[in-house]
Amino acid sequence: MNATPAGEGPGGDLATLARGGRTNFLGFLLRLAARLPFLFIAGRFYGADALGRFASALVVVELVAMLCTIGEKRGLAQRLSESDDDPGHLVFDSLTVAFVMGSLAALVLWLVPAPMFPSGIYTDADRFIVLAIPALAVTEILLAAQAYRYDIAATVRARAIVEPWTISIMAGVFALAAVTSGLSLAYLISIYAALITAAWPFLRSYGLPRGWKPAPGRMY
């Protein structure tokens, strides 16, 4: 995609931005409503202690995932606006960086889980929650690429519909199956469901990166 002057194309259509803002607000309300069943299920069937341990791990996982993409979404938008390179190649550069950073962070937390579980109480299955980190990082880049093309609905579908409803449903399923680590596993499944939901419109919009090769210098 070639760079476009201010007021034209991506970044310049105020009406589209306004619609995107309304869509984002609607997504926030949908996500809030979809979280209520999860909170009920978690408190009712897993108990306050399990919910507290899950919340502690969740904060660390999502904070680390955010750090893995810090500045990258804005940088991606800038590169897409200013570069004449294939947009798909530029996005896949960012996806690779996000995946590598997220995987390294996940490995560190897998080996040293204390920051996620300061009480020291967790199961081996609980530790798998670290696998959410690279998925969260990659999903953020996918949604940022779609947002650059004004596809805010992709974020709403992934973050406000698929992710919260998947975690609620799977938490209920694991509760019925008496799975001790049901909250962590339900969260992990919901994150990957959101990733697939974000990847689908991205591939339709940008396509596969034909001819793309990792370029460490460019990624740096």
- Does residue 116 fall inside a structural domain? yes
**Domain assignment of residue 63, yes or no:** yes
**Burial of 210 from C-beta contacts in 10 A (0-12 / 13-18 / 19+):** exposed
- Is 11 domain-assigned? no
Q: Which two tokens stand for residue 92?
A: 């896949």
In a domain, 12, yes or no: no
pLDDT score for 26: 64
163 within a domain of the structure (yes/no): yes
Global pTM value: 0.85
In a domain, 33, yes or no: yes
Say if CB 194 and CB 162 are below 8 A apart. Answer: yes
Specify the residue for token string 């760079």: 3
> Which of the residues in the chain have pLDDT under 70?
1-31
CA distances from 163 to 54, 141, 159 (A): 16, 16, 5
- For 55, residues 6+ apart whose C-beta sits below 8 A from its C-beta are none
Q: How many domains does the chain have?
A: 1
Q: Which residues contact 217 (CB under 8 A, 6 or more apart)?
A: none
Per-residue pLDDT at 73 = 83
Question: Would you say residue 136 lies in a domain?
Answer: yes
Q: Domain range for residue 56?
A: 24-219
**Distance separating alpha carbons of residues 80 and 2, to the nearest angstrom:** 8
The answer to whether the beta carbons of residues 135 and 143 sit under 8 Å apart is no
Whole-number Å distance between alpha carbons of 220 and 40: 44
Smallest Cα–Cα separation from 144: which of 155, 133, 132? 155
Q: At CB < 8 A and 24+ separation, what contacts does 5-14 make?
A: 10/77, 10/80, 10/81, 10/148, 10/149, 10/150, 11/77, 11/81, 13/150
